[in-house]
């Protein structure tokens, strides 16, 4: 049982204090940077979430990482995330930074290229369809693998779809120019 309680009160106090301080810094960083800090938006948002969690754990549990270094690390990660977000928004570099959405199913037909590109298999797809209340793939107009890893299942008739929502999806041919 020593491995459970083999510690000192000073160590317990440091853990409590550092946990409290780094938590306040994370809350403040989220408040300043906004809800996107931990949003499920893109790969770099996920990387920021994992990094902040790792920093928080290291500062709280290990005595070798000073709280001030943890604070600087959290601020640098959140600042980098914010900078990348602004660069994406202002320059159009999202096509380089973000994974594009990928079409997996079109008009009730599974698209092998989309499945291969995303690493999905038919079992994954079936699970997505079932969780969306789909009982037959023939009910599906489209399934899109989103940049966040989520899958969107669309059952609306094709003529009711807004083309703007689908223009950046990989696997959809670009619209043909109108000729007179």
Chunk the chain into consecutive blocks of 10 residues (it has 180) and report each block's average pLDDT, rounded to whole numbers. Answer: 80 92 93 80 83 94 91 95 87 78 94 94 96 96 91 91 83 55
Q: What is the pLDDT of residue 75?
A: 95
Q: What is the pLDDT of residue 179?
A: 56
Contact between 143 and 151 under an 8 Å Cβ cutoff? The reply is yes
Name which CATH class applies to 99-166. Answer: alpha beta
Contact between 105 and 137 under an 8 Å Cβ cutoff? The reply is yes
Q: What is the pLDDT of residue 176?
A: 47
Q: What is the pLDDT of residue 142?
A: 94
Q: What is the pLDDT of residue 103?
A: 94
Q: What is the pLDDT of residue 67?
A: 94
Residues linked to residue 105 through DSSP beta bridges, in sequence order: 110, 143
Question: How far is Cα 28 from Cα 148, in angstroms, rounded to an integer?
Answer: 25
Q: What is the pLDDT of residue 24?
A: 95
């Amino acid at each position: 049982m020593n491995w459970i309680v083999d510690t000192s009160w000073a160590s317990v106090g440091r853990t409590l204090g550092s946990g409290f301080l780094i938590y306040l810094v994370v809350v403040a960083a989220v408040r300043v940077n906004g809800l996107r800090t931990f949003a499920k938006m893109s790969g770099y948002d996920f990387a920021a979430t994992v990094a902040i969690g790792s920093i928080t754990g290291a500062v709280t549990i290990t005595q070798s990482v000073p709280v001030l270094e943890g604070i600087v690390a959290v601020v640098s990660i959140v600042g980098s995330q914010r900078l990348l977000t602004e660069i994406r928004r202002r320059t159009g570099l999202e096509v380089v930074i973000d994974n594009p959405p990928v079409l997996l199913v079109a008009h009730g037909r599974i698209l092998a290229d989309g499945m291969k590109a995303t690493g999905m298999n038919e079992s994954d797809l079936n699970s997505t369809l079932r969780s969306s209340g789909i009982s037959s793939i023939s009910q599906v107009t489209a399934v899109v693998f989103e940049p966040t890893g989520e899958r969107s299942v669309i059952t609306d008739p094709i003529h009711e779809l807004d083309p703007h929502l689908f223009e950046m999806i990989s696997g959809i041919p670009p619209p043909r120019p109108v000729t007179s």
